[in-house]
Structure 1
Amino acid sequence: MYGGIREKPAPARGAGQHLLLVVDEPDMAELLSTTLELAGYRITVVGSGTEALARLTERRFDLLVVDATLPDMESLGRDRPAVVDRPPVLLLTVYESLDRLVPELGPGERDYVTKPFRVAEVLARVQVLLRGSGPRRPRLDELGYRDLVLDDTRCEARRGTRRLDLTPAEYRLLRHLLANAHRVLSKEQIGRYVWGDFRGDNAIEQLVSRLRRKVDQDAPVLIHTRRGFGYWLGGADAEL
């Protein structure tokens, strides 16, 4: 009786992937962020290329959705050294700009949707770009800074593709530093977080030294000392 009726397939949904939305028009930002969140993605919204670049140096994103008409779009150029492991990019652009943009679109790396766009088309292109970005899927319980990622579900950490073999105390220290990136933590704060009490300067110094040897085998160095105050995690050029 119902064999002749073809049901419309349900739209594909996200699995918690973290998208960075770079849009300065409030109405467009609200429309896209609401739609993408309802589709199962986590969304961070910024209003300029400069802000986007700062976020990209702080943590990992799985996809950028960028308004190509932003005045400072060049801040997201492919040769910017501060961006590590840049994610795929979906550009929102006007038709007249396609001649300029199309030569820059790398296969599996960038795509575009012309404005005014249909939301369904944006969702479809997001799915295609995420499908081609590799098997890794983000987790809601990950902490990260640049190419350093800590996974609380598996109790493991990675620097790029390299897995870090951490002791429980080193893991807790790294988690505390990541959760307070760019903030100096005193030895007492570290000791109370890692062990529940203060173990003395020497114990803290040895623990930080062991963690550094594992984390900072790769450039750039991420764990730093503020003499007389404590330790902090971040890029060497970051302002505290």
Structure 2
Amino acid sequence: MKKILIIEDDKAFLETLTSSLETENFKIVSATDGEKGFQLACQEKVDLIILDLVLPSLSGIDICQKLREKGIMYPIIMLSGKKKEEIDKVLGLELGADDYLIKPFGTKELLARIKAVLRRSKPEAPEIEEYSFGDVYLNFKKQIALKEKKELSLTAREFALLKLLICHEGEVVSRNTILNEVWGYDKFPTTRTVDTFIHNLRQKIEDNPTKPVHLLTVPWSGYKFIK
């Protein structure tokens, strides 16, 4: 049975989420306060965290950052009442969230997101376990990235995106293909979110992000990786 930690300060909404997910055979632990939620995330062994963006004592953004700083890499679905464009910006800040949902949302949509995130986080036999190009070293199994022997902070989704492009080295990969393969569905988020993630990766791995030599844009088509 998969265990999910829900950190949500709206008690009525939390009860609804808990009931819906328990019906789907998930084990639920929860907190209505950011600090308590962070403590639970550090203490409990869970498969997924559902995290509200705005919380008392410690915000969802702070929780994401603190967990990643401690090396806790549980997949995170962020919940928010903000507009999607604002959440795109939040996800683009390297906070470590894997997905998001805008309130209000239906149970079916939530379950689809949960299953997609859990599917992506499954340990798999990777096609490539380690890879190097230029002064960058990647270990996909251990989720380690180095540039000039200095550790880079990459999210699980950034590793997945890099791996996809590297596996198709020299080939154009469309934005919709990236959404399907990396996000697990093609309806949300938008292709602009893909562009944001590519931009962030360039900032980390390219010597000159404004003139990339590895992560290349193919106008009107998508992206390709060149070693």
**TM-score interval w.r.t. the shorter chain?**
0.3 to 0.5
Q: TM-score normalised to the size of structure 2?
A: 0.47
* Structure richer in helix, relative to its length: 2
Greater C-alpha radius of gyration: 1
TM-score, normalization by structure 1: 0.45
